[in-house]
Amino acid sequence: MPQALFILTSHDRIGDSDTPTGFYWEELAAPYWILTDAGWQVELASIKGGRPPADPSSAEGDAMTEEVRRFMADDAAMNRLAHTERVEDVDVSGCDMIFLPGGHGTMWDLPENEALGALLARGWEKGAVIGAVCHGPAGLLAARLSDGQPLVAGRRVAGFTNSEEEAVGLTEAVPFLLADRLSAAGARHESGPDWQSFAIADGQLVTGQNPASSAEVARLMLQAADRPAVR
């Protein structure tokens, strides 16, 4: 059975404020079920281990998708979420895919996490598919390959756009604008219309723009996993 590893944020506040954040439910649940239903074994890890925080707004109103409901109702899935492995302790030798769900929390604890960066680089250089959605590509910034270059350098990458950040009123709250930082790292940042599904595959790297892109990212990751790695 092919194996996928999802790595979630452990950061639970917008900066130093009292505004709660964390991972975004749809960005976890939709890919989880698409991969699980396709016969993949999905394991969950997080920066600190244990139960990672969820953005409460991602389980309200229209954000509460059928995939999110299914995840919350599934004892095995919720047990995995309650007992995530700490990223420092993860062994990626058996992983065929590594995926970074988003949520604003990722902007604080993923980009400079050395263990995450090393894990992503090891996965990439052994041919694993690397995926991320929405703010999840912030974690890609942590990874440098054995030649010293950023993993994203020269590659097509999607992620939460500056205009989407402005629309949710967090331009001044986040530590940086994701699209700008990806471009500064050498990525070829691409985007579609705000809030619409937009996902791209560049060899074994698959990224998506926003929560609506979560399912498409998962489908593209499955396609990428069926092709030889192109580094």
List, in order of start, the domains of the chain with CATH numbers. Answer: 3-225 (3.40.50.880)
Q: What is the pLDDT of residue 231?
A: 46
| Residue 80 amino acid letter | R
Q: Which of 108, 150, 107 is nearest to 130 (CA)?
A: 150
Neighbours of 145 (CB within 10 A): 16
Q: Is the dihedral of CA 181, 97, 127, 124 positive or negative?
A: positive
Q: What is the pLDDT of residue 227?
A: 63
Q: What is the pLDDT of residue 119?
A: 98
pLDDT tens digits for the chain (231 residues)?
999 999 999 999 998 899 999 999 999 999 999 999 999 999 999 999 999 999 999 999 999 999 999 999 999 999 999 999 999 999 999 999 999 999 999 999 999 999 999 999 999 999 999 999 999 999 999 999 999 999 999 999 999 999 999 999 999 999 999 999 999 999 999 999 999 999 999 999 999 999 999 999 999 999 999 865 444
CA atoms of 54 and 44, how far apart (whole Å): 14
Q: Is 173 exposed, middle or buried (0-12, 13-18, 19+ CB in 10 A)?
A: middle
